[in-house]
Amino acid sequence: MKAGLIYLLFLILGLQTLSFGQSQKDIDVIDIGRHVFSHLPPRELNPTDTEKKTIISILPAAGYTLQTGFAAVLSANAVFSLEKDTVTKQSFLFTNVTYSQYRQIIFPLQCNLWTKDNKYNVNTDIRFMKYPQFTYGLGGSTDIGNGYKIDYANIHVYETVMRQLSHSIYAGLGYNYDYYWNIHEIDPPSGVITDFQNYGITKELRTVGLTANALYDNRDNQVYPLKGTYAKVAFRNNFKFLGSDANWSSLTIDFRHYIQLSAKKDNVLAIWSYDWFTTSGTPPYLMLPSTGWDPYSNTGRGYIQGRFRGDNMLYLEAEYRFRIMNNGLVGGTVYSNIQSISEPLTNKFTTTSPGAGVGLRIKLNKFSKTNIAIDYAIGTQGSRGFWVNLGEVF
């Protein structure tokens, strides 16, 4: 899920040995490795050829985040096109294997495919997790000092197929399956009934549902967009007759907009809104809208995953991305976000929780525009920490 910081040492070593003449070209971590170990010049960047190639990026690392503690991670992504033309959008595949200090095992496999002329978009999200995680109760006014762990194992399988209706507009259906087992609390506060206990603990749970999806996507690049808009609406309805423990439904609205401020330096203002609502029934506690539980676990930098949880969630973030080195090897970001979770009794949004931070971007692969993202962020009540990704946060 998250990567580590050891590439900083590799980067520094490469900068010490890379000549100024070569550094005027676009370079990445692979170019540095070639130069350090084989004294080879940077590879030539040809955007036309890139559209026809399969580009694989692999990141073995050790790192630290709030939700995992220290962790060993092997991340990989592949960017490719199913057709040899300039019309079909690039598809991508992402996976990693993580084992953490908290004995967490995380193994996702996520794939986004575009067929010829972008007629169909096929999205696959499969995960296995053995995942002790912190919980702090329900609502947006919970205290950070009242956190304790919930442990469980989980597998989920999400599959969505959408068809093009017109240029950049898609609609389709999906199937969502979630199964949790061996659910239990670890050292909950003594002498009180926790929100989880009050909500209803079961040792296992299963939710199975169908989704209706609408998508608008005219971004110029799926991995590192410089301009364009992405907007997706997904309505999920879970049914007992499909095998779900209960009938309930939810709605998510994912909106992203990218404004290119400088064509030469790839400076971008990126805006992200992620809103998540319970529309009927009672979702299981572990499937309620929650900080950091969007599909890529990226909402709420400044707060540990699961910090806020409730029936409904509003989220907004803005990030400014810019080059630090002219050759694109190192970039930077500054960002801020704000989230609000509805309260359990009134279901009203009465509190907001802001976060803000800065980050480095190290170009792992210049052909796919894949970056190593290293961020430091702060939130309220003393919440703070590092977040590291393979690829952009959004």
Residue 144 to residue 353: CA distance in whole angstroms? 12
Average pLDDT estimate for 238-267: 93
Q: Does the pLDDT of residue 14 top 70, yes or no? A: no
* Rounded Cα–Cα distance for residues 321 and 325 (Å): 13
Among the listed residues 109, 136, 103, the one whose alpha carbon sits nearest the alpha carbon of residue 292 = 136
- Both tokens of 224, joined, read 């590192």
Domains of the chain by start residue, with CATH:
7-390 (2.40.160.50)
Query: How distant, in Å, are the alpha carbons of 99, 113, 139, 341, 344 from that of 306?
Result: 19, 30, 11, 12, 16
pLDDT at position 48: 56
State the pLDDT at residue 50: 52
Q: Tell me: the pLDDT tens digits for 184-199?
A: 999 999 888 999 999 9
List pLDDT tens digits, range 287-314.
Answer: 999 999 999 889 999 999 999 999 999 9
For tokens 């912190």, the residue is: 134
Mean pLDDT value across residues 238-262: 96
Among the ranges given (40-49, 117-126, 214-223), the one the predictor scored with the smallest mean pLDDT? 40-49
Q: Average the pLDDT over 52-66 and give the result.
A: 75
Evaluate the CA torsion angle 265, 336, 104, 79 in order and state its sign.
negative
Least confident range of 3-17, 121-135, 277-291, 346-360: 3-17
pLDDT tens-digit map of 100-149: 888 899 999 999 999 999 999 999 999 999 999 999 999 999 999 899 99
The mean per-residue pLDDT over the stretch 162-181 comes to 96
Token pair 């907007």 is at which residue? Answer: 231
Quote the pTM value.
Answer: 0.88
In the prediction, which pLDDT does 5 show? Answer: 47
Residues with Cβ within 8 Å of residue 241, at least 6 apart in sequence: none
Phi, psi of 286 (to 5 degrees): -75, -10
Return the SS3 of 144: helix
